[in-house]
Amino acid sequence: MQRAVLVTGGGGFIGSHLCQSLLDDNYVVFCVDNFITGDKNNLKNLLNNPQFVLLEHDIMRPIQQNQNLDYIFHLASPASPNKKSPRSYINYPIETLLANSVGTYHLLELSLKYGAKFLFASSSEIYGDPAISPQKEDYFGNVNPNGIRSCYDEGKRFGEAITFSYIRKYNLDARVIRIFNTYGPLMRADDGRVVSNFINQAINSKPITVYGKGTQTRSLCFVDDMVLGIKLAMFSPNTKAEVFNLGNPDERTILNIAKLIKNMTKSSSEIVFEDLPIDDPKGRKPDISKAKRILGWEPKITTIDGLKKTINYFKSL
């Protein structure tokens, strides 16, 4: 019998790639999104698939689901920290907190109801401005509990806490992944994230806006690698009650990323420096040894190859 999967945030950037990949694997996919930051256009190739069901729904309320579910992937949440973007979680702070708290509660209850395996998509943001590098899963982080990013950071931390409470109290088969910076086709051009901003600025001959001095670092993971990691965290044996960092350890400074994208696009744009946002983490680099050991996963797509694909995507729009 075909297995049924529910993906919240299925209209988002990573969520829509995950839905596509699960359909390719022959799952029946229920996609839940309220489209405050997701985009129906991401789903235009999926909507005709008879195994794909779109539920336009806000997870603030329980999902009325009468068909059996085998797996629940909970990705729904605004995710961009850039307050200049209309879709930033900074502009949806309450929705962000509730999607990760009340929303996670409803989805955990749904998992219990159907005996479905559960995956909570947490974030490298739970490490805050990390005092150690690379970050390992057992690092507790360095988070401002009431700063401008706290709606996301603390929302994700709550989501992890309630997921583990259901594991301990109800023996639920659940796991947590921590997604590090991810990029690729279907990112929104106005998302405000570093890769989408720099590529769109470069190909439109606009100034490339480096915040601060550009000495802060990030490690960029191409979305196809990320989707594979997410599926392995759900479907591999021995993942119950585990936390996995998923990301590409290829750490670069933001200035290096700006120069790389400028060169790759042969852009005439100048690189300009703007104020560093409050609480912007100084660095991020995942330690992925646990994902390698238990999931046999590591990113395969180099930053250069992934950026090429993403540049081609934005040029094609």
Per CB under 6 A, residues contacting ligand UDP are: 81-82, 181, 193-194, 197, 209-211, 216, 218, 254, 277, 280
Q: Which is nearer to ligand UDP, 216 or 267 (CB)?
A: 216
Residue of 27, 89, 92, 152 marked catalytic: 152
Query: CB of residue 165 vs ligand UDP: minimum separation in angstroms?
Result: 26
Query: How far is Cα 204 from Cα 20, in angstroms, rounded to an integer?
Result: 30
- Closer residue to ligand UDP (CB): 54 or 264: 264
Q: Hey, what are 17's tokens?
A: 């790639």
Nearest distance from residue 80's CB to ligand UDP, in Å? 6
Nearest to 157 by CA among 172, 144, 148: 144
* Residue with token string 């159907």: 114
Query: 82 vs 104, which CB is nearer to ligand UDP?
Result: 82
Exposed, middle or buried by CB within 10 Å (0-12, 13-18, 19+), for 17?
buried
Closer residue to ligand UDP in complex, CB, 17/156: 156
- 27 has catalytic annotation: no
Cβ-count burial 67-88 (b if 16+ within 10 Å, e if not): eebbbbbbbbbbbbbbeebebb
Q: What is d(CA 225, CA 301) in angstroms, rounded to the nearest whole number?
A: 7
49 burial via Cβ count (<10 Å: 0-12, 13-18, 19+): middle
Q: How far is the CB of 275 from ligand UDP (least distance, A)?
A: 9
- Least Å distance, CB 205 to ligand UDP, is 16
Q: Which residues are catalytic?
A: 152
